[in-house]
Amino acid sequence: MIHFEPATRTFNLHTAHSYYALRVDAEGRLVHLGWGLRPADAGPADRADGPFPWPHEVGFSLTVQFRPEEVLTFGDVSTHGVTLKANFPALAQPLAPGEAAHLPIRDLRLRYASHAVVMDAEPGLAPAHGQPVRNETPRETLRVRLVDPVQPLAVTACYRLTPEHDLLERWLELENLGPHPVTFDAVGFASLHLPQGATELTSLTGAWAREYTQERRRLSAGTLVLESRSLQTGHRANPVFLLNAPGQAAEDSGTVYFGALAYSGAWQLAFEQLPTWHLRVHAGYNPFDFQLVLAPGQRHATPALVCGVCGDGWGGASRRLHAFARERVLPAPSARPAYRPVLYNSWEATTFNLSYAGQAALAQKAAAMGVELFCVDDGWFGARRDDHAGLGDWFVRPDAFPDGLEALVAEVHRLGMKFGLWVEPEMINPDSDLYRAHPDWVLHFPGRPRTESRHQLILDFGRPEVVEHIFSVLDALVTRYQIAFYKWDMNRLASEPGSAAGQALWLAHVAGVYGIMDRLRAKHPALDIQSCSGGGGRVDLGILGRVDQVWASDNTDALDRVRIQEGFSLAYPARAMEAWVTHSFNGFTQRAAALRLRFDVAMRGALGIGTALNELDEAELAEYARYIAFYKRLRPIIQDGALYRLQRVEAHGASVIEYVAADGREAVYSIVVHDYRAGAFRPTAPLRGLHSGLVYRVSNRDGVEVQRATGYTLMTLGLPGQHGGPAGWSQTLHIVAEAE
């Protein structure tokens, strides 16, 4: 609900449990008033109003501008971080006496012009594929139009509410109203003003094969920057944060502020603690090498910062982001039943050694064990015998499939599975026909080196003809081979970012990727897409608007994966997290893992199989089939239920999680012992989200009952017999309420 009080010019934005208040002050500035939880007994008419809660017109020596404006602008602010920095090339009015023409004018002031509450406003780069999301209930957006008193520029600050999940999406719309171009050096989507003391930050950093590493630290005075400086979301950090007062939040309790960016390019989150101990979060495009030029009359809408506050700890923040992604971001499933299919991917089994016979043999084994989607990975195209050649030549590799791909597609369909294909559309090997034909189509600076990474260069998506070419190639493949699933990969960082689009490349690349995906989905509504970037390098709320699932990491070692997946779960939902069972010995970690452990970990997301099935004996294949059947019984709860992280690896050496169906009548309990601590008894983990008065049957994979107990007992004492077990011990249990 959005309310405006004309007498004080105060806006109150209410969600189920939170408020966000802002005000137009006497000078017409849009100033932040407060953000937090609503008192439990508050009614709809209770609103925050009254004087500003802290002084911000400080006039002491060595202080300039502590005023918490909603949109902080360079010029008005010069000693702290800003949301916007603009350069005006010309004077908007004649020079006054005593003025010199120091151009460009790097000074922007924003004053209130008008506001409106509208339904269904969309941030920049919102999906344009036209496919619905699960929850299409219209939402309110507050739009506050601000203008510079002198220069012809309008900035609209937008606030869209998703009340049921206590979420707010913030973005900016810029409009050049004048006759000259305006250049921006920095464009944030929003700056947040957090209460004093919310300085404990939980974030995700990492690297290839070690994505989503959780870090919890106390912010000190100054600015901490998390960012991507590339053309994808990145491995080094993921654009998500949780903030709370140190020591005052835990998994299930405490006030937590949180946010995530809906953008898959060079982003930045800057956490700035002012000398007053106020904390600001500046979120948006990375200002590194950034430039946005608005021509006369041109507009630009930024993507959104999704943010919220909750009172039920880090777990509560995660559950809100999960529900938001499932219901409001991910495309609604086109197929029925509406669950992610069990996938087989042949990458780890065959790498580049592809043939009809080899793939067909794998497909037959996969189908027999219950796989529903068969995806051929890298190596099916061009001269792709290894990673030195072929990227860009998206036609079937004749030495691997001399009779084309049609026979394999037909065989996969005959076996009752859908057919999927790996592509890496943004890339090109210099050893490719496409590069030989268009050496100018890659990012580069004239006369300068073109640094290769994995022997590949990046196509210049600043050129519309390149984007068009890639779309038409992918479009034709879908039609020709009845492709139901693209694994869209992206395997390198940017270098020498010279583009036909100049510095606008950073945005143009992301818009190009999104645009191709949107057009493919619009034209082929049954096509699913997986986002992959050398593992989990392209996961964010922007890409989730146009894909169905993501690859979290190339590291499929089960114990490593427990940590990676736990970090992933801070912000992203299980149904989007593809997780594979692979062979017992993991080459990355030089560790072996029991099949049970591998399944218990991979079943925590959207299950896939990546094992060399031709190396398994009949008994092992039968075991796989039993697990897959079990997973299919559990997946409605795993993929759509609420996630509770009952115990974290850090605290107890074990990861215990629970998924609970929306009606609380069914749940999945999953435990993995990560580190065995001799001499210690791990506490049991009481369950959550059940009904105290109902009796639940707890059963294992084979349907054998291991316990029968009331919801009350399960939510107080937990499950017995869960404290032991060496590292690698694991169990998945199905919990179902008995009929009353």
The residue assigned the tokens 């998500």 is 240
- The least distance separating ligand GLA from the CB of residue 487, rounded to whole angstroms, comes to 7
Report, in Å, the least distance between residue 347 CB and ligand GLA.
5
Which of 83, 582 has the CB closer to ligand GLA?
A: 582
Active site residue 554: yes
CB 107, CB 149: distance < 8 Å: no
C-alpha separations of 643 from 164, 320, 504, 553, 691 in Å: 17, 10, 40, 20, 16
Name the nearest CA neighbour of 713 among 701, 695, 698: 695
Nearer to ligand GLA, 87 or 456 (CB): 456
Q: Which secondary-structure segment (H or E) carries 650?
A: helix 649-652
Cβ proximity to ligand GLA: between 309 and 458 the closer is: 458
Nearest residue (CB) to ligand GLA, 391 versus 601: 391
Is 633 in a helix, a strand, or coil?
helix
Point out which residues bind ligand GLA (CB under 6 A).
Answer: 347, 377-378, 422, 489, 491, 532, 534-535, 551, 554
Q: Minimum CB separation from ligand GLA for residue 13, in Å?
A: 40
Q: Which one of 433, 475, 554, 675 is the catalytic residue?
A: 554
Q: Shortest approach of ligand GLA to residue 455 CB, angstroms?
A: 11
**Kind and range of the H or E run holding 586:** strand 585-586
Helix (H, G, I), strand (E, B) or coil at 34: strand
77 vs 459, beta carbon nearer ligand GLA? 459
Nearer Cβ to ligand GLA (497/608): 608
Q: How many CB atoms lie within 10 A of CB 146?
A: 26
Task: For the CB of residue 491, give the shortest distance to ligand GLA in the complex, in Å.
Answer: 5
In the complex, the smallest distance separating the C-beta of residue 492 from ligand GLA, rounded to whole angstroms, is: 10
For 101-164, give the secondary structure using H, E and C: CCCCECCECCEEEEEEEEECCCCCCCCCCCCCECCCCCCEEEEEEEECCCCCEEEEEEEEEEHH
Of residues 222, 309, 237, the one with CA closest to residue 269 = 237
453 near 390, Cβ under 8 Å?
no
Active site residue 148: no
C-alpha span between 458 and 506 (Å, rounded):
12
Least distance to ligand GLA from the beta carbon of 351, Å? 8
Question: Between 208 and 356, whose beta carbon lies closer to ligand GLA?
Answer: 208
Q: Three-state DSSP class for 533?
A: strand
DSSP characters for 372-439? -EEEE-TTSBTT-SSTTB-TT--SB-TTT-TT-SHHHHHHHHHTT-EEEEEE-TTEE-SBSHHHHH-G
Closest CA to 127 of 516, 414, 684: 516
Evaluate whether 176 touches 152 at the Cβ level (below 8 Å).
yes
Least gap, CB of 349 to ligand GLA (angstroms): 12
Indicate the residue type of 620: E
Given 378, 460, 489, 640, which residue is catalytic? 489
The residue nearest ligand GLA at its CB is 378
In the complex, the smallest distance separating the C-beta of residue 611 from ligand GLA, rounded to whole angstroms, is: 14
Instruction: For 311-365, give the DSSP string.
Output: SBHHHHHHHHHHHHIIIIISBPPSSSS-SPPPEEE-HHHHTT---HHHHHHHHHH
Question: Could you give phi then psi for residue 235, rounded to 5 degrees?
Answer: -90, -30
With respect to ligand GLA, which residue has the nearer C-beta, 308 or 534? 534
For 653-668, give one letter per residue: b (16+ CB within 10 A) or e: bbbbbbbbbeebbbbb
Angstrom CA distances, 722 to 596, 686, 709, stand at: 16, 11, 15
Distance between CA atoms of residues 684 and 671, nearest Å: 11
Active site residues: 489, 554
